[in-house]
Amino acid sequence: TLILGIETSCDETAAAIIRNGTEIVSNVVSSQIESHKRFGGVVPEIASRHHVEEVTLVIQEALDQAKIDIEDVDAIAVTEGPGLVGALLIGVNAAKAIAFAHDIPLVGVHHIAGHIYANRLIQEMSFPLLSLVVSGGHTELVYMKEHGSFEVIGETRDDAAGEAYDKVARTLNLPYPGGPHIDRLAQKGQPKIKLPRAWLEEGSYDFSFSGLKSSVINTLHNAEQRGEIIDAEDLAASFQESVVDVLVTKTARAVKEYEVKQLLIAGGVAANKGLRQKLDEIFGEMDGIELIIPPLSLCTDNAAMIGAAGTVLYEKGKRADYGLNANPGLELR
Ligand code: ATP
Ligand code: MG
Ligand code: FE
């Protein structure tokens, strides 16, 4: 099967051609990061306008690079949610228009299912598996007993991990997106500033990062008032250690309880060096569990992952009709 994937949920306009759910034939991403940088975050109206300008060009480029015509694709898979409603609408409407014009089946894909399926472009999945999703808007532990089945066993109650990184970066006057900058500082610092870890109730797989974020901000303000200078590298290292400690400890507990064969990492925070090191340390040599971390280009938003997830849904017979709509609050299941 050849699937055209389309992704416009946030600030990347992307299209890709995927063969048999596992092979990238082409993968085109147009990022708008430069347009949003000066506002310190994604501006929804600007995102929508960029998507309108880019979407047909990006789709054509994906077909050209794959050296195929639109008639050659078996289905179109598009992100229907969650995300920015105005941004999602551009991809959904482009997909519907092309599907209608060429009489091609249409499949709606959950954005986070896409992030998880980026892993299948690296390594075939073996079930049951667990995925740690750490992105700009989500922090979740997802259990999968088979293809297309998602059980969220834990999620953040406030900020997502990436969001916490970006907010902490902002208080340190670092440019958007701040995650990579904090990561870079953390490599040079020592985690010697005491910061909290939110374990929540015993046995809970949920996360919470807003208390940690506030604690970082308070530490900075208190030092400022006393006329002291806090070492930004040490603060970044301490913050990172807290985030990674909670993420990896909860993940390790879930891996054991659910007796999974694979641990898949998904989302942009998977680029984090501290997180990668710790995951490798804990799971790299662990018997009976395979750790998969996709390359960065497949961790951040792209359409290859949407094509990969869409292929599974298509093969299971899932079809969307022309009533398909953007759903910014779509649940994963
Ligand atoms: P969602 O999929 O939840 O809607 P998103 O797609 O916008 O969110 P991603 O593109 O997957 O999110 O990830 C972006 C996030 O990853 C940003 O918050 C960014 O700061 C963070 N990030 C990127 N690199 C690193 C890093 N090295 N360390 C920590 N965070 C990072
Ligand atoms: Mg993004
Ligand atoms: Fe995403």
pLDDT tens digits, 129-176: 999 999 999 999 999 999 999 999 999 999 999 999 999 999 999 998
From the list 329, 330, 331, 320, the residue with the least C-alpha distance to 93 is 320
271 lines ligand 1 (CB under 6 A): yes
Q: Using CA atoms, how far apart are residues 78 and 108, in angstroms rounded to an integer?
A: 5
From the list 56, 65, 48, 64, the residue with the least C-alpha distance to 8 is 48
Q: Which amino acid is located at 296 in the chain?
A: L
| pTM, to two decimals | 0.96
Give me the residue label for tokens 């990006």: 58
5 lines ligand 1 (CB under 6 A): no
From the list 304, 306, 312, the residue with the least C-alpha distance to 27 is 304
Nearest CA to ligand 1 atom 13: 268
pLDDT for the residue numbered 233? 97
Nearest CA to ligand 1 atom 6: 301
10 lines ligand 1 (CB under 6 A): yes
180 lines ligand 1 (CB under 6 A): yes
Residue 170, SS3?
A: helix
pLDDT interval class at 34 (50, 70, 90): confident
CA 51 to chain centre: 19
| Backbone phi and psi for residue 140, each to the nearest 5 degrees, phi listed first | -145, 150
| Ligand 1 atom with least separation from CA of 134 | 11
The pLDDT tens digits of the residues spanning 242-259 come to: 999 999 999 999 999 999
The pLDDT tens digits of the residues spanning 207-221 come to: 999 999 999 999 999
| Ligand 1 atom with least separation from CA of 162 | 18
Q: In what order do the strands lie in the sheet with 12-19?
A: 23-31, 12-19, 2-7, 75-81, 106-110
The CA angle 97-98-99, to the nearest 5 degrees, is 95
Are 225 and 259 within 8 A, CB to CB?
no
pLDDT interval class at 205 (50, 70, 90): very high
Terminus-to-terminus CA distance in the chain, angstroms? 24
The answer to whether 51 is a known ligand-binding residue is: no
Percent of the chain with pLDDT over 70: 100
